[in-house]
Amino acid sequence: LIDCGLTDEVCAALTSALKSNPSHLRELDLSGNKIRDSGVKLLSAELEDPHCKLEIL
């Protein structure tokens, strides 16, 4: 999802989707987006979930 104009609001929706849907997603590249600290914190917290398969963010 590189350079898609994503914002912190999208991070909240993405985090919710990762929690509610079993995913085999291992890597997620969000570079070049408009994500600030609050969005990064949401996604980082998801990485701590034992069910989260993401290895690289």
Domain borders along the chain are 8-47
- pLDDT, greater one: 53 or 21: 53
- pLDDT, greater one: 40 or 17: 40
pLDDT at 47: 81
pLDDT at 31 over 90: yes
Q: Find the mean pLDDT for residues 5-20.
A: 86
The helix, strand and coil proportions of the chain, stated in percent and rounded to the nearest 5, come to 40, 5, 55
Q: How far, in Å, CA of 43 to CA of 40, rounded?
A: 5
Q: Find the mean pLDDT for residues 4-32.
A: 85
Sign of CA pseudo-dihedral 50, 52, 56, 57:
negative
Query: Structure pTM?
Result: 0.71
